[in-house]
Chains A and B, each alone.
Chain A
């Protein structure tokens, strides 16, 4: 398997991981909001997951580490373009979810933690799905 094939395989794996995260994050948020209360362990786990997801959506890990040739192929021009598009999708999802949550909060009071959780989850989920979809579509 050459470098291009390795990079393609890893890119597909990354897209699959992003789809999995985009499923897990909203589920965790629903469980936290529907559950009896916020547990510290669950909150820390959620924070860890959103941190890792956000980090992987950005190109920061590629700047920090000494990248090998496969990593460079996984962060080429098209991937950077997909990152920009997914950030835009995440931005609009955050605006929409924050606005919707504020309207809902006028009828059903919501805490700041819940508002933050919903907004971040919506933004990250949209960005993860957008990035994974663009990457898989480009590989076809």
Chain B
């Protein structure tokens, strides 16, 4: 099984006018974590995904989904 986790994090972050550093500071992670999640290099934990969704005011399933 080769499933891919996709995300809309960059667009959602830019929509609320946050930089990667700003979002990182808001949820207490490093900027590289935001960068690697946005680029699909790193798959975040459930906890981090929920924190991101809360910080961006979006439901988690609209930020992350599995590619068909």
Contact = CB atoms under 8 A, between A and B. Distances in A.
Question: Do A and B come from the same complex?
Answer: yes
Interface residues of B, number: 16
B32 A11 contact: yes
Given A2-B21, A5-B21, A78-B42, A73 B30 contact: yes
A77 B25 contact: no
B61 to A, nearest CB: 20
Interface in B5-55: 21, 24-25, 28-33, 35-36, 41-42, 44-45, 48
Interface-centre pick from B21, B31, B41 (highest chain A CB count, 10 A): B31
Chain A at the B interface: SS class: helix
B8 to A, nearest CB: 19
Contacts of B32: 8, 11, 78, 135, 138-139
A69 B35 CA distance: 20
Given A76-B30, A78-B30, A4 B35 contact: no
B19 to A, nearest CB: 10
B52 to A, nearest CB: 11
Interface of A: 2-5, 7-8, 11, 69, 72-74, 76-79, 81, 135, 138-140
Interface of B: 21, 24-25, 28-33, 35-36, 41-42, 44-45, 48
